[in-house]
Amino acid sequence: MATLREKIGYGFGDMSSSMFWKIFSAYLPFFYASVFHLSLEMTGILMLVTRIWDAISDPMMGIIADRTQTKWGKYRPYLLWISIPFAVAGVLLFTKPEWGETGNTVWAFVTYILMMTVYTAINVPYGSMLGVMTEDSDEKTVFSSYRMFFAYAGSFLVLWMWEPLCNFFANMNGTNLEGESLTRDPQSWQYAMIVVGICCMLLFWLTFAMTREHIRTVKKTTSVMSDLGSLFKNGPWWILLGGVLFFNFFNAIRYSIIPFYFATLIAKDASLTIFSIDFLFYAGMFLAVGEIANMVGVAVATPITFKIGKKSTFLISLFALIALCTAFYYIPTNGTGAYWTLLILQILVCILTGVISPLIWSMYADISDYAELKFKTASTGLIFSSSSMAQKFGGALGGAAVMWILSGFGFNTENGAIQTEDAIEGLRLLMSWIPAGVAALSALFIFIYPLNTKCMKEINNELHKIRQ
């Protein structure tokens, strides 16, 4: 039985990763388009093309981690080794040189590829640790719930403070222009990322110090090609990969569009009154409240899953997401009543995504157990790397799709809130029907996923005999 210290420590790791990932998802497209001044088309190309390398680096990192042998274990030492490069790469990503259009474009491609490579180098081993911290399938769900609870807590903090932090540094520098709800001063964004990067580095150090690898899986004696061959023959892996890819695509669209949606359609001085206190209704607040709702979803995921199973919980949540997302299309964007309706819908959507998120990692751990029993090889790192790959491909597709769709509808990044009717229609579709359609594709994959509760009990019983 794992200790509470280990569960909290494991949660700190995704708190760190999620702080970076949510900034990338929500604000990096806006940064490239409105601060770095790349075109929408080039921003979309950047976010998609860099994932070609990710398609290689994720499984490569999984293969490397599976074959790592240290006194600290296979996967845990990477949390110590990569934490500083992780923080540095994040700062470089939000740094704008003065090298002209071509030089700056090259810098954007290089730093984006560097950040995603470093993210892979630390996050694939971190995710793989779940497969070696406990052999109990239900306890893996508990670990995943701690992981996602802390992830959303970190996301809440970073999304709530990001815009005020950027504006704080802009005010210090005297570069905050009147009328801007979010500064477009590049140096202020860089300083804000330095603060976030230091926090993320310290959190990974805590994860390293507070966790241990307890399970000794089948010794890695097979070749890389054999491992890849087993992976490609793993039917449940392919199915879950598709479902997770489209779920991450769904999340990426929503996170990428919200800053544009608020900057264009929501008044700069929009506010909500809660217990006689006025709160500014801005993108960061909207996203941060969503992270609190995610935490609620994570908290209820475990008891729901224990009652009806992982697959059923995942599928029902996706169907509810489809219905809720379509409702965004019909909500006006001005007036207190509209703001409250938008916020309530956001809370409900995020509760459901919070329910799903821990299930993904627990289901990948189940697939690792299935692979160990069926193919007699434990490729935990390789299997978990596919989740990182799906996360980044989904993020790339979502971010690129938002940029290209906005461009297709005639959205102009220089015009701020002054946009054509077509551009506004594109924003509304990207907040509603388009993500709903992507969630439906995810549901198709999860519907045919075969590793249900009964199947996993049989697998765990057989593995327990082998590992004795």
How far apart (Å, rounded) are the C-alpha atoms in residues 460 and 443?
26
Neighbouring C-beta atoms of residue 276, cutoff 10 Å = 5
Q: Which amino acid is at 384?
A: F
Say if residue 168 is exposed, middle or buried (CB neighbours under 10 Å; 0-12, 13-18, 19+).
middle
Q: Over 80: is that where the pLDDT of 71 sits? A: yes
How far apart (Å, rounded) are the C-alpha atoms in residues 68 and 81?
13
What is the predicted pLDDT for the residue at 417?
Answer: 61
Mean pLDDT along residues 269-281:
74
Q: If you average pLDDT over every residue of the chain, what do you get? A: 84
What is the predicted pLDDT for the residue at 17?
Answer: 93
Q: Which helix (H) or strand (E) holds 430?
A: helix 421-430
Q: Which of 230-234, 242-246, 258-262, 316-320 has the lowest mean pLDDT?
A: 230-234
Structure tokens at 338: 């509209």
What is the predicted pLDDT for the residue at 466?
Answer: 66
Q: Which residues contact 17 (CB under 8 A, 6 or more apart)?
A: 119, 122, 123, 126, 151, 200
How far apart (Å, rounded) are the C-alpha atoms in residues 5 and 369?
25
Confidence category of residue 452, pLDDT binned at 50, 70, 90? confident
Nearest-10 crossing angle of helices 380-408, 336-375: 150
CB 369 within 8 A of CB 463: yes
What is the predicted pLDDT for the residue at 325?
Answer: 94
Q: Over 70: is that where the pLDDT of 36 sits? A: yes
**Of 32, 51, 50, 48, residue with least CA distance to 40:** 32
CB 286 within 8 A of CB 255: no
Place of tokens 């990932």: 21
Cα 385–chain centre separation: 14
What is the predicted pLDDT for the residue at 405?
Answer: 87
What is the predicted pLDDT for the residue at 214?
Answer: 82
**Of 259, 5, 12, residue with least CA distance to 154:** 12
Confidence category of residue 179, pLDDT binned at 50, 70, 90? low
Structure tokens at 155: 């996301």
How far apart (Å, rounded) are the C-alpha atoms in residues 26 and 4?
32
How far apart (Å, rounded) are the C-alpha atoms in residues 195 and 242?
36
**Of 304, 412, 319, residue with least CA distance to 359:** 304
CB 125 within 8 A of CB 389: no
List, in sequence order, every residue forming a beta bridge with 277; answer none if it has no partner. 274
Q: Greatest CA separation found in the chain?
A: 68
Confidence category of residue 176, pLDDT binned at 50, 70, 90? low
What is the predicted pLDDT for the residue at 86?
Answer: 96
What is the predicted pLDDT for the residue at 201?
Answer: 97
Q: Which residue has the higher pLDDT, 117 or 233?
A: 117
Q: Over 70: is that where the pLDDT of 55 sits? A: no
Inter-CA distances, 231 with 341, 354, 372, Å: 45, 28, 11
What is the predicted pLDDT for the residue at 407?
Answer: 84
Cα 99–chain centre separation: 31
Q: Which amino acid is at 41?
A: E
What letters, b where the CB count within 10 A reaches 16 and e where it falls short, cover 413-440? beeeeebeeebbebbbbbbbebbbbbbb
Confidence category of residue 40, pLDDT binned at 50, 70, 90? confident
Indicate the CATH number for domain 4-215+223-467: 1.20.1250.20
Neighbouring C-beta atoms of residue 240, cutoff 10 Å = 27
Inter-CA distances, 159 with 27, 400, 405, Å: 9, 21, 25
Q: Over 90: is that where the pLDDT of 255 sits? A: no
Mean pLDDT along residues 229-249:
81
Return the percentage of the chain with pLDDT > 90, whole number: 30
Domain boundaries, the chain: 4-215+223-467
What is the predicted pLDDT for the residue at 376?
Answer: 67
What is the predicted pLDDT for the residue at 285?
Answer: 84
What is the predicted pLDDT for the residue at 14?
Answer: 93
Q: What is the pLDDT of residues 90-131, one digit of tens each?
A: 999 999 998 988 999 999 999 999 998 999 899 989 988 987
Q: What is the pLDDT of residues 340-362, one digit of tens each?
A: 888 899 999 999 999 998 888 77
Q: Which residues contact 226 (CB under 8 A, 6 or more apart)?
A: 377
Mean pLDDT along residues 142-151:
85
Structure tokens at 113: 């590829």
Q: Which residues contact 362 (CB under 8 A, 6 or more apart)?
A: 130, 137, 140, 141, 143, 144, 305, 310
How far apart (Å, rounded) are the C-alpha atoms in residues 33 and 91?
18
Structure tokens at 208: 């390293």
